[in-house]
Chains A and B, each alone.
Chain A
């Protein structure tokens, strides 16, 4: 088991693909993935550390390990304004993963460690596409490591908090408008901090309410590598090996959900997520050398988004549950500041999933999502580059959990 875990983790190429709002990826538990990504009002064991640490102390077992991943197969199609020019991305497979381990201490406390990947984006356009001066490809990833503690006052009310340490990296390529293959590769990493706090409340026997706040994490790249390919005549003016700094905010989330065990077999939940995207106003790059020529402030002007979700689960038996869900995620980017580096459209998604529990200790969770980015006209005005974008993604996922 342990060997397998390590193998799986190390073989995961940590890159995700935009398939929802901004560069957020909420695939942090395969039960929740199939359940409309609703998680805040659930007492879902170890995976509560991401969705709502307040629910962790309500875990039913003494010890739980959860491990899983999803495969994001995403595509973006683009047609340029006033033109029959079309382009499609060639995005690599995105593989967000999670690993949770948690244990209960007495009746009231639970402790755990969560490792998950809630933000990431890989968009790969053809290197010679029409928008090459905006972006050719970009991948950003962030691994969150979150030790968590949870406490319940009684069997109705629990709170929890996690400290988040983030390991992030970003790499992008874009062409520069000089003749030939002029371009720049930016590659940097950033480690940062944040927190995750939640409240879990059971007002009545069949009702759960969850409230969770995950803080903003500022990914500050300092001293990233900027490698330029330039005509030789410019190399006296612009160094080919430079350093850059930039800051990319991973926005805060406020999630509120209600779940009701309608019958012994039927669980229904709704959740509303508020994502504080408005923090992403400008993407600024500062360069160590020749800054007066290279530094740039690129408006992004994101707006907060609001995501309603619903999930329904039916338990056929102790051994077998099926679930489904849906959500609607609005685009944080405005029509005039929409860049092809993060193609984020208003997106509808449905989810399916089932769990198979062959024994008391072991369960397998399968999930499947399909997202439909609603076709729309978008422009990045500062670069006068726009057209019609459409996105879709298929996301199968598999999770394992072991508990006693």
Chain B
């Protein structure tokens, strides 16, 4: 009798509680933002450019695609059209002395240097790509598939957004513009009737200067819309806020912290023989003598061990052009694009000065930092003026570069390849890096609009792919 009663109790308890625990404490909400239709405006970062190319899976794992996917939980219409590239190798046009040359994305592969040493390194996915095929892939119009929600275009500066006919100059826009000769990129945004926009622009206004080793100009602050940073940025924000009721704008990262600038050391010349040291010192004795005569502080000295490279620096302003060379200082930066074989085998940095396009001198770094600060202050003011969410990637970048960050057990640093943040071009992001960026957008949007957009799992995305 009692046994029966107890079995009964036990059975009931068992049934009542055998349902597994579930937690549902998170209710996605858009707050005061309207996330229905999202348009992403910006440059290569918004386009999903990575590994030195625009290619299909990179576009899909760009931060804008990730944001659209998360917005769909909080009122987004789930539509996010991207002007997709047709292949996984993608296309990137390069201007060379002999004309345009098209390359594919970079992958990690085995490359053999001039000394015969084989090691893992970024190499083109296709070392000898069919130029006609790539040219066609880049220029075939996909405008009929629009309108597009992701109108990020690699290479654009803030003024470009307003320029009619940009499509004739920038093939990444030309391929999805309906009328490349006349359309302005900003006009594409209106076509999706956006309720929400992200604008991440301005990087190329300083980056162009930085990635060319100071050869391209930094966009001036002053000047009319289309020329000056301030007027252009204001016009762009004005137009976007007239289309969409809410949005987020992101500032310019501290770009000189990117792997593109921090991977190659300033002092890669390792001398192990005294004879070599003596020969170099003897060779530069006339230079040192000339500098002494000119009462200039520059001296080129060699010692056993690691030595700074000799670089060309036109800013030295010595009337004798051959004398405008010096040893690079600690803190000055060497670009990732420097041909390493030339250092190893063609005496770059010892007998031949490194061309200025591969170097950022202290003076140039200062210019970049100043311009970035001025632009970012302006961007911040616009965020306040137009009541928009502001995403501070400048300080994120500084934090990652100085202290590193960890998300979901994945460490992020600015280190090339192993840092998980930068793709193989050293400046654009890995899918994991894009996920981190998307979460920073979400944080800023949630804070500004009292929204509750769910963050994405960083661990769902890939780091640099190793063979």
Convert B79-115 into 0s and 1s, putting 1 for each residue whose CB lies closer than 8 angstroms to a CB of A: 0000000000000000000000000000010000000
Complex Cα spacing A224 to B28, Å:
45
In the complex, which residues of chain A have a beta carbon less than 8 angstroms from the beta carbon of B459?
A: 130-133, 175, 177
* Closest chain A residue to B18, Cβ basis: A394
B467 pairs with A85, CB closer than 8 A = no
Complex Cα spacing A86 to B26, Å:
10
A392 pairs with B20, CB closer than 8 A = yes
B466 pairs with A394, CB closer than 8 A = no
Q: Does A10 contact B (CB under 8 A)?
A: no
- Total interface residues in chain A, CB < 8 Å: 50
In the complex, which residues of chain B have a beta carbon less than 8 angstroms from the beta carbon of A175?
A: 459
A232 pairs with B467, CB closer than 8 A = yes
A370 pairs with B13, CB closer than 8 A = yes
Interface centre among B406, B443, B446 (most CB of A within 10 A): B406
* Closest chain B residue to A178, Cβ basis: B466
Q: Does B117 contact A (CB under 8 A)?
A: no
* Closest chain A residue to B407, Cβ basis: A384
Q: Does A52 contact B (CB under 8 A)?
A: no
Q: A83-B26, A177-B463, A233-B466 in contact; A133/B408 too (CB < 8 A)?
A: yes
Q: Does A79 contact B (CB under 8 A)?
A: yes
Min distance, Cβ B418 to any Cβ of chain A, angstroms: 10
Q: Does A348 contact B (CB under 8 A)?
A: no
In the complex, which residues of chain B have a beta carbon less than 8 angstroms from the beta carbon of A84?
A: 26, 28, 73, 454
Q: A233-B467, A352-B10, A375-B23 in contact; A80/B407 too (CB < 8 A)?
A: no
In the complex, which residues of chain A have a beta carbon less than 8 angstroms from the beta carbon of B127?
A: none
Q: Does A354 contact B (CB under 8 A)?
A: yes
In the complex, which residues of chain A have a beta carbon less than 8 angstroms from the beta carbon of B6?
A: 322, 352, 354, 366
In the complex, which residues of chain B have a beta carbon less than 8 angstroms from the beta carbon of A338?
A: none
Complex Cα spacing A33 to B207, Å:
68
**A120-166: which have CB < 8 Å to B?**
130-134
Complex Cα spacing A232 to B467, Å:
6
B20 pairs with A77, CB closer than 8 A = yes
A77 pairs with B21, CB closer than 8 A = yes
Interface centre among A175, A233, A373 (most CB of B within 10 A): A233
In the complex, which residues of chain B have a beta carbon less than 8 angstroms from the beta carbon of A352?
A: 6, 9-10, 13
Q: Does A368 contact B (CB under 8 A)?
A: yes
Complex Cα spacing A131 to B442, Å:
20
**B152-194: which have CB < 8 Å to A?**
none
Complex Cα spacing A132 to B409, Å:
8
Task: List the count of A-B residue pairs having beta carbons below 8 Å apart.
Answer: 125
Convert B133-150 into 0s and 1s, putting 1 for each residue whose CB lies closer than 8 angstroms to a CB of A: 000000000000000000
Q: Does A32 contact B (CB under 8 A)?
A: no
Complex Cα spacing A133 to B63, Å:
22
Convert A312-338 into 0s and 1s, putting 1 for each residue whose CB lies closer than 8 angstroms to a CB of B: 000010001010000000000000000
Complex Cα spacing A384 to B409, Å:
6
Q: Does A356 contact B (CB under 8 A)?
A: yes
**B13-57: which have CB < 8 Å to A?**
13-14, 17-18, 20-26, 28
A394 pairs with B20, CB closer than 8 A = no
**B381-440: which have CB < 8 Å to A?**
405-410, 420, 439
Q: Does A88 contact B (CB under 8 A)?
A: yes
B10 pairs with A368, CB closer than 8 A = yes
B108 pairs with A233, CB closer than 8 A = yes
Choose one: A88, A178, A382; the contact of B20 (CB below 8 Å). Answer: A88
In the complex, which residues of chain A have a beta carbon less than 8 angstroms from the beta carbon of B465?
A: 179-180
Min distance, Cβ B27 to any Cβ of chain A, angstroms: 8
Q: Does A106 contact B (CB under 8 A)?
A: no
Q: Does B351 contact A (CB under 8 A)?
A: no
B466 pairs with A179, CB closer than 8 A = yes
Q: Does B455 contact A (CB under 8 A)?
A: yes
Min distance, Cβ A236 to any Cβ of chain B, angstroms: 9
A85 pairs with B454, CB closer than 8 A = yes
In the complex, which residues of chain B have a beta carbon less than 8 angstroms from the beta carbon of A178?
A: 463, 466
Choose one: B22, B420, B443; the contact of A86 (CB below 8 Å). Answer: B22
Complex Cα spacing A385 to B456, Å:
13
* Closest chain B residue to A86, Cβ basis: B23
In the complex, which residues of chain B have a beta carbon less than 8 angstroms from the beta carbon of A86?
A: 22-24
Complex Cα spacing A356 to B1, Å:
13
In the complex, which residues of chain A have a beta carbon less than 8 angstroms from the beta carbon of B128?
A: none
A390 pairs with B23, CB closer than 8 A = yes
Q: A78-B23, A375-B23 in contact; A320/B2 too (CB < 8 A)?
A: yes
Complex Cα spacing A342 to B349, Å:
55
Complex Cα spacing A76 to B407, Å:
22
A356 pairs with B406, CB closer than 8 A = no
Q: Does B120 contact A (CB under 8 A)?
A: yes
* Closest chain A residue to B5, Cβ basis: A322
**A355-404: which have CB < 8 Å to B?**
356, 366, 368, 370, 373, 375, 382-385, 388-392, 394, 396
Complex A-B, nearest 8 residue pairs according to Cβ-Cβ distance, in ascending order: A133-B409, A383-B409, A231-B466, A179-B465, A79-B23, A130-B457, A75-B20, A77-B21
Q: What are some 6 contacts across the A-B interface (CB < 8 A)?
A: A86-B24, A133-B459, A175-B459, A177-B410, A354-B2, A375-B23
Q: A75-B21, A354-B6 are in contact. List 20 more A-B contacts (CB 8 A).
A: A78-B23, A79-B24, A81-B455, A82-B26, A82-B455, A130-B460, A132-B409, A132-B459, A133-B409, A133-B410, A178-B463, A322-B2, A352-B13, A354-B3, A368-B13, A368-B14, A370-B17, A382-B406, A384-B407, A396-B10
Residues of A within 8 A of B (CB): 73, 75-86, 88, 130-134, 175, 177-180, 231-234, 316, 320, 322, 352, 354, 356, 366, 368, 370, 373, 375, 382-385, 388-392, 394, 396
